Amino acid sequence: MEKVELLAPAGDLERLKIAFEYGADAVYLGGENFGMRTAAKNFTIEDIKEGAEFAHERGKRIFVTVNIIPHSDDFEGFEDYIKELDEAGVDALIASDPGVIQIIRDTLPNMELHISTQANTTNYQTANFWYRLGAKRVVVARELSFDEVKEIREHAPEGTDIEAFVHGAMCISYSGRCLISNYMTGRDANRGSCAQSCRWKYNLVEEKRPGEYFPVYEDERGTFFFNSKDLCMIEYIPQIIDAGITSLKIEGRMKTAYYVATVVRAYRMALDEYYKNPQSWKFNPMWLEELKKGSHRHFTTGFFNEKPDEDDQNYASASYVRNYDFVGLVVGDKDENGFFSVEQRNKMVVGDNIEIIGPFTDTMSATIKEMLDEEGNPIEAAPHPRQIVKIKLPDNVGVNFMLRKEIESKNIEE
Q: 161 with 278, same domain? A: yes
Q: Please report whether residue 193 resides in a domain.
A: no
CA distances from 132 to 110, 113, 253, 397 (A): 15, 12, 30, 49
How many structural domains are present in the chain? 2
Distance, in Å, from the CA atom of 289 to the CA atom of 293, rounded to the nearest integer, reads 7
Q: 10 with 98, same domain? A: yes
> Any bridge partners for residue 115, and if so which?
95, 138
Q: 46 with 163, same domain? A: yes
Confirm if 326 and 369 have CB atoms less than 8 A apart: no
Instruction: Work out the average pLDDT over 160-188.
Output: 75
Work out the angle at residue 375's Cα, subtended by the Cα atoms of residues 374 and 379, and round it to the nearest 5 degrees. 75
Confirm if 264 and 15 have CB atoms less than 8 A apart: no
Give the residue, 209 or 65, on which the prediction is more confident.
65
Dump pLDDT digits (tens) for 191-207: 566 677 766 676 667 77
Interior/surface letters 226-239, b for 16+ CB within 10 angstroms, e for the rest: bbbbbbbbbebbee
Confirm if 286 and 73 have CB atoms less than 8 A apart: no
Q: Please report whether residue 382 resides in a domain.
A: yes
Dump pLDDT digits (tens) for 107-144: 999 999 999 998 989 999 999 999 999 999 999 998 89
Domain boundary among 317, 347, 375: 317
Nearest to 128 by CA among 108, 154, 103: 154
Q: 366 with 280, same domain? A: no
In the chain, pLDDT over 70 holds for what percent of residues? 81
> Residue 97: which H helix or E strand, with range?
none
Distance, in Å, from the CA atom of 345 to the CA atom of 387, rounded to the nearest integer, reads 8
The mean pLDDT value of the chain amounts to: 87
Confirm if 106 and 97 have CB atoms less than 8 A apart: no
Q: 360 with 388, same domain? A: yes
Dump pLDDT digits (tens) for 57-78: 999 999 999 988 888 988 999 9
- Could you tell me the pTM of the whole model? 0.84
> Any bridge partners for residue 165, and if so which?
249
Q: 400 with 274, same domain? A: no
Backbone angles phi, psi at 44, to 5 degrees: -75, 170
In the chain, pLDDT over 90 holds for what percent of residues? 67
pLDDT at 366 over 50: yes
Q: Please report whether residue 56 resides in a domain.
A: yes
Q: Strand, coil or helix: what is 319?
A: coil
Distance, in Å, from the CA atom of 31 to the CA atom of 85, rounded to the nearest integer, reads 9
Nearest to 89 by CA among 117, 122, 106, 112: 112
Q: What is the CATH number of the domain that holds 401?
A: 2.40.30.10
Q: Residue 252 sits in which domain range?
A: 5-174+227-317
